[in-house]
Structure 1
């Protein structure tokens, strides 16, 4: 009979943990070192791309908009790296390090390309980098939300693929293409709805003027869309050589889930925010509180739908 005062016995009674290998600490050290190096590289890249010194912009100039934008990119990279760490092979330290490094570099590249596409195609009527330099926090918030949205879907594709090869890389690139297509569609729908309710200006003109409530509302739409689209990984079967079917599958299922989310969020907003004129509060009175509730509803409903699948 065990002594009830025995320390090991007492710990087993208090914590019924799942056993894991001691090697997990070595893999953790590898992943953290690579992550910190890539995050530092991202910080340097952020300054180079904006033709500024990150230290000067963040500290001397106190440019909050620039900090929000960089923070969004860093969080995006961490989301991709988390998926890479979870899906990487644990057969040996070198393979794990190479896998983490490769997907981290791919993540850096996709974040860069995604921001360029978002700047040139999605928000094509404004100069995002110039406005962020001018401390436009509304633009920075949408920029950060766009980066995080891209990372959420790319990370779900990383968890969806099997193995560590060119086929997996093609699948990740397909997921990235789908991400940009869906975010573009969601933004254009949002712009059209805004134009119908506000004849005096467009969505991009309003956020250029620093409309924070509108930025919060749209950021919720982007994040919610990404979360619900990531559920496609549970509905689709991975085919290593099915390049076209992988792409079309993610696109069709992603679009369907996006439309489902739009309907559910509209119902939720009308029920939860009954008695409020949302268009007047957000678009005209710039009510950040109401916009924050809309953001929470968009993300929350998306999480429920994603959890269901």
Structure 2
């Protein structure tokens, strides 16, 4: 205890930076619920505590987690140089992260899953759709965090770099959705989105794994590119190319890993026909594990 107190006394400024960061983070995390309610014209208290809408709770939980992930990329601590710079940086990047996460949800609704009204399905207690919604915002936040860590400063070029990285992530998430849909349609007489709308939990879990692992591969791609404010477009181009390469590598590696981990099990039949949540969860964690290993290797 004495050693802890001595450390805090020697690093008093670090404690103040910590208080600033945590105050901003808690403020923004608390604002997520009310922002969702305001944008969707929803009484969040009714949905969460009176109607006991689990799907809405899962969707909100995803947004809270996403905000925390994005904010973790904005913290600089003593590197900021002053308390005011850290406060401005946290607020600015936090609000940017919030806007990009909300915009990412809109893109996912309109371009990745346009065949049904996701918010309406969530209000109708469709838990699989709520899970997919949570996964989509978490995936967006993972890339936003990577962009915040990659870019430096508070200039226009920094914001351009962050926005471009966000665009890359949205394109990749829509691409992986189209690939997922195509593969599903090869084996089934019903579309992926219709199946999801009908409340297919195992399929939602599998798809969520694809979304999050794809975002992690885009993050891994950022490790190859050194941020240079004088050549932002060159860096973004390199990031895009590496993202495609790593997404393909991720797809190949996860296919092999799932085949080995679930040897002797007909994954298509178990997940798509029997709604086997256990098998789908193993697939999700396998995708996550391979993506995590790719990130560690690239770093």
Give 5+ residue unaligned stretches, structure 2.
Answer: none
Q: Is the 8 A contact 2:14 2:78 kept in 1?
A: no
Provide the secondary structure at the position in 2 that maps to 1:126. Answer: coil
Q: State the match for 2:58 in structure 1.
A: 68
- The answer to whether residue 9 in structure 2 is matched with residue 24 in structure 1 is no
1:269 Cα deviation (Å)? 0.8
Q: Of residues 205, 217, 220 in structure 1, which corresponds to 2:209?
A: 220
Q: Of residues 24, 37, 51 in structure 1, which corresponds to 2:41?
A: 51
Compute the TM-score of the two structures, normalised by the length of structure 2.
0.95
Q: State the match for 2:258 in structure 1.
A: 269
1:160 Cα deviation (Å)? 1.1
Provide the secondary structure at the position in 2 that maps to 1:69. Answer: helix
Q: Is the 8 A contact 1:174 1:246 kept in 2?
A: no
Give 5+ residue unaligned stretches, structure 1.
Answer: 1-6
Q: State the match for 1:250 in structure 2.
A: 239
Give the Cα–Cα distance (whole angstroms) in 2 for the partners of residues 269 and 87 of structure 1: 40
Provide the secondary structure at the position in 2 that maps to 1:23. Answer: helix
1:234 Cα deviation (Å)? 1.3
Q: Is the 8 A contact 1:88 1:100 kept in 2?
A: no
Give the Cα–Cα distance (whole angstroms) in 2 for the partners of residues 94 and 210 of structure 1: 48
Q: Which has the larger radius of gyration?
A: 1
- The answer to whether residue 242 in structure 2 is matched with residue 260 in structure 1 is no
Q: Deviations over 1:44-87 (max 9, x none)?
A: 11112222111111000000111111111111111111110148
1:90 Cα deviation (Å)? 2.4
Give the Cα–Cα distance (whole angstroms) in 1 for the partners of residues 77 and 223 of structure 2: 15
Give the Cα–Cα distance (whole angstroms) in 2 for the partners of residues 137 and 20 of structure 1: 50
Q: State the match for 2:143 in structure 1.
A: 153
1:30 Cα deviation (Å)? 0.8
Q: State the match for 2:187 in structure 1.
A: 197
Query: How many residue pairs were aligned?
Result: 296
Q: Deviations over 1:254-300 (max 9, x none)?
A: 11100000000000011111100000000000000000000000000
Q: Of residues 256, 277, 282 in structure 1, which corresponds to 2:271?
A: 282
Give the Cα–Cα distance (whole angstroms) in 2 for the partners of residues 117 and 20 of structure 1: 47
Q: Is the 8 A contact 1:86 1:159 kept in 2?
A: no
1:127 Cα deviation (Å)? 0.4
Q: Is the 8 A contact 2:105 2:137 kept in 1?
A: yes
Q: Deviations over 1:126-158 (max 9, x none)?
A: 100100000111111111111011111111111
Q: Of residues 238, 241, 244 in structure 1, which corresponds to 2:227?
A: 238
Q: Is the 8 A contact 2:224 2:239 kept in 1?
A: no
Q: Of residues 71, 74, 78 in structure 1, which corresponds to 2:68?
A: 78
Q: Deviations over 1:228-256 (max 9, x none)?
A: 21011211121213243233222111111
Provide the secondary structure at the position in 1 that maps to 2:129. Answer: helix
- The answer to whether residue 138 in structure 2 is matched with residue 138 in structure 1 is no
Compute the TM-score of the two structures, normalised by the length of structure 1.
0.92
Which deviates further from its counterpart, 224-233 or 87-96?
87-96
Structure with the largest fraction of helix: 2
1:20 Cα deviation (Å)? 7.1
